[in-house]
């Protein structure tokens, strides 16, 4: 929440995705003094995919671009090898330079969905870290004490719980802070888990005799599981370049409790529209949220199409507009097809026992006919649709 009314007006396009500014007064003074601020956001390529949780800060960076400020994007090819300990209860494994480069391969394409890449100053922090001597690294470590490092919540918790803390992890916040020195940042963007790192950047800049950066801190986004922070490694993330169908389906898994947060942080729905939706049917609100999320990255037509497809299949119980085609297996000697074999062949059951249970449970249909006899031998002409439950379909060709 932005408290100062003038600052709130100046940053109106991103106000609802900012939790706090440290300190507000300094940012207002910077905005009054300079028409264009250097706004830094660092992102570590620890996976191949940029997800919508990362997108919160990327969109804020884009909005700052649109307000006339300079976007400075730090690709943390060196910090990624160290690993950010923020919120972690154990030491992260080190990535190799080869893994980092593999992860970076498609990042520009993904982030171009949000940022005006022609106007982004892109820096890799290997530019300054790869040539550092060991003595220079020691000098950097001399900037903070162990006591100051232990102010970090995750370190304090791990120390109390007798969990190991690697000396390497102490370096991460110093590296992120040094990035700010090297690019002369006026503002750094980050989530609430980055608060400690952002304040280290301020400290290092002051030690260098520079005007310290202001921290623009936004909320974290829980993943679709509703508990852990969004992360591809946890399987609870929605990628910027995921297919519209996958984005919509994942969004529909979001809990009712998290839905208002998703609406405000990862869609372009207007505030008054969000309030109206939240006052009505939870299902209608979730459908609107999912469609808006698809629309943000794939266009309004795609969002509307996925909403209609969802209603077709899950509310009207009609077949999807696109059904995967599966070549039917070889028939029995009499030319018939055992329903159990069809289910296993289409990947709907991994064993005969599982197929029998699905059939006896009444969840299997061939076209619109419920198949209740697991011993049934069927005649197929080609083009029939085998269905299990509401989500699994195959057209037998």
* Residue 187 to residue 14: CA distance in whole angstroms: 14
Higher confidence at residue 248 or residue 94? 248
- CA atoms within a 13 Å half-sphere pointing along the CA-CB vector of 235: 0
Confidence of residue 394 (pLDDT cuts 50, 70, 90): confident
* Residue 273 to residue 265: CA distance in whole angstroms: 14
127: exposed, middle or buried (C-beta count within 10 Å: 0-12, 13-18, 19+)?
middle
- Measuring CA to CA, how many Å separate 78 from each of 5, 23, 75? 39, 29, 9
User: What is the average pLDDT across 72-81?
Assistant: 94
Confidence of residue 88 (pLDDT cuts 50, 70, 90): low
**Is 87's pLDDT higher than 70?**
no
pLDDT tens readout for residues 276-313: 999 999 999 999 999 999 999 999 999 999 999 888 87
- Measuring CA to CA, how many Å separate 248 from each of 4, 15, 151, 303? 37, 26, 40, 8
pLDDT tens readout for residues 324-353: 888 888 888 888 889 998 999 989 988 899
Q: How many CB atoms lie within 10 A of CB 13?
A: 14
Average pLDDT, the chain: 91
Domains of the chain and CATH, by start? 5-221 (3.40.50.620), 244-315 (1.10.240.10), 325-396 (3.10.290.10)
Higher confidence at residue 294 or residue 361? 294
């Amino acid at each position: 929440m932005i408290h100062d009314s003038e600052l709130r007006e100046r940053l109106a396009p991103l106000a609802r995705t900012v939790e706090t500014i440290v300190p507000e007064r300094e940012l207002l003074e910077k905005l009054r003094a300079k028409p264009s601020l250097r706004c830094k956001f660092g992102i570590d390529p620890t996976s191949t995919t940029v997800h919508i949780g990362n997108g919160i800060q990327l969109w804020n960076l884009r909005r700052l671009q649109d307000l006339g400020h300079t976007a400075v994007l730090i690709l943390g090819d060196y910090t990624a090898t160290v690993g950010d300990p923020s919120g972690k209860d154990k030491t992260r494994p080190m990535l190799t330079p080869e893994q980092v480069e593999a992860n970076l391969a498609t990042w520009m394409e993904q982030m171009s969905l949000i940022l005006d890449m022609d106007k982004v100053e892109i820096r890799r922090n290997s530019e300054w870290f790869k040539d550092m001597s060991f003595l220079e690294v020691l000098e950097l470590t001399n900037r903070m004490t162990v006591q100051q490092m232990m102010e970090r919540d995750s370190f304090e918790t791990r120390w109390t719980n007798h969990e190991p803390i690697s000396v390497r992890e102490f370096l991460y916040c110093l590296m992120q802070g040094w990035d700010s020195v090297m690019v002369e940042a006026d503002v750094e963007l980050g989530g609430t888990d980055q608060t400690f790192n952002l304040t280290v950047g301020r400290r290092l800049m002051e030690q260098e005799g520079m005007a310290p950066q202001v921290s623009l801190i936004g909320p974290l986004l829980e993943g679709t599981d509703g508990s852990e922070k969004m992360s591809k490694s946890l399987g609870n993330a929605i990628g910027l370049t995921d297919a519209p169908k996958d984005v919509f389906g994942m969004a529909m898994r979001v809990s009712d409790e998290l839905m208002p947060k998703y609406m405000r942080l990862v869609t372009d729905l207007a505030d008054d529209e969000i309030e109206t939706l939240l006052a009505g049917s939870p299902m209608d609100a979730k459908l609107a949220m999912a469609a808006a999320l698809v629309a943000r990255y794939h266009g309004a037509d795609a969002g509307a199409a996925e909403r209609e497809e969802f209603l077709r299949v899950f509310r009207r119980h009609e077949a999807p507009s696109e059904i995967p085609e599966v070549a039917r297996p070889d028939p029995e000697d009499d030319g018939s097809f055992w329903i159990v074999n069809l289910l296993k062949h289409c990947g709907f059951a991994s064993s005969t026992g599982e197929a029998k249970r699905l059939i006896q449970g009444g969840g299997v249909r061939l076209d619109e006919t419920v198949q209740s006899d697991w011993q049934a031998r069927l005649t197929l002409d080609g083009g029939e649709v085998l269905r299990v439950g509401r989500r699994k379909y195959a057209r037998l060709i």
